[in-house]
């Protein structure tokens, strides 16, 4: 029975933290006088790395950048790197990478969403709500990219 317990899969969140945060709004306060709605561009990325592999500790970093423009003027740019430290056991190789980049990102999304919304709101702008994200589809796209390059 003891052997069964050691082969158990574990995926535990140890800590959540902000790794980097940036906000700028070069057009304030003049932008508040304009009526035109800005164009919004949201980019995201997920990275993961072993911190202490023998202990099963891995860091996942979800980076979200949101930029608003009116014509050629930057209204605001906000970027948050929300990170989490995960303790993982019983998972290896591609399955581990997949678990970290999909499940880890899903866990971090509400925290990065709140940080971005808070920064934009404190900048005097309306709420910026990030829509749900399909991290599984993004992971599949990321995995398909190198294969296209080699064909």
**In this predicted model, what pLDDT tens digit does every residue of 51-62 receive, in sequence order?**
987 899 999 999
Q: Residue 1: its pLDDT value, please?
A: 43
* Residue 38 pLDDT level (bands cut at 50, 70, 90): confident
pLDDT given at position 54: 84
Banded pLDDT at 145 (limits 50, 70, 90): confident
Residue with tokens 């990030």: 130
Q: Can you say whether the dihedral through the CA atoms of 20, 26, 29, 34 is positive or negative?
A: negative
Check whether domain 8-21+43-62+82-150 has CATH 3.10.420.10, yes or no: yes
CA dihedral 81, 18, 110, 80 (to 10 degrees): -30
pLDDT, position 143: 87
Judge whether 103 and 22 are in contact, CB under 8 Å.
no
pLDDT of 3 above 90: no
Q: What is the pLDDT of residue 147?
A: 61
| Number of neighbours of residue 87 by Cβ within 10 angstroms | 16
């Amino acid at each position: 029975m003891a052997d069964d317990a050691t082969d158990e899969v574990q995926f535990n969140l140890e800590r959540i933290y902000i790794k980097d945060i940036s906000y700028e709004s070069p057009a304030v306060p003049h932008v508040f006088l304009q009526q035109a709605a800005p164009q919004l561009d949201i980019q995201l990325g997920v990275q993961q790395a072993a911190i202490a592999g023998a202990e099963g500790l891995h860091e996942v970093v979800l980076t979200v950048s949101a930029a608003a423009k009116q014509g050629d003027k930057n209204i605001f740019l906000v970027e948050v790197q929300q990170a989490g430290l995960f303790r993982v056991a019983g998972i290896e190789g591609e399955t581990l990478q997949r678990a970290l980049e999909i499940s880890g990102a899903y866990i971090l999304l509400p925290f990065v969403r709140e940080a971005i919304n808070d920064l934009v709101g404190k900048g005097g702008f309306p709420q910026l709500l990030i829509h749900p994200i399909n991290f599984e589809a993004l992971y599949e796209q990321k995995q398909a990219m190198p294969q296209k390059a080699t064909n």
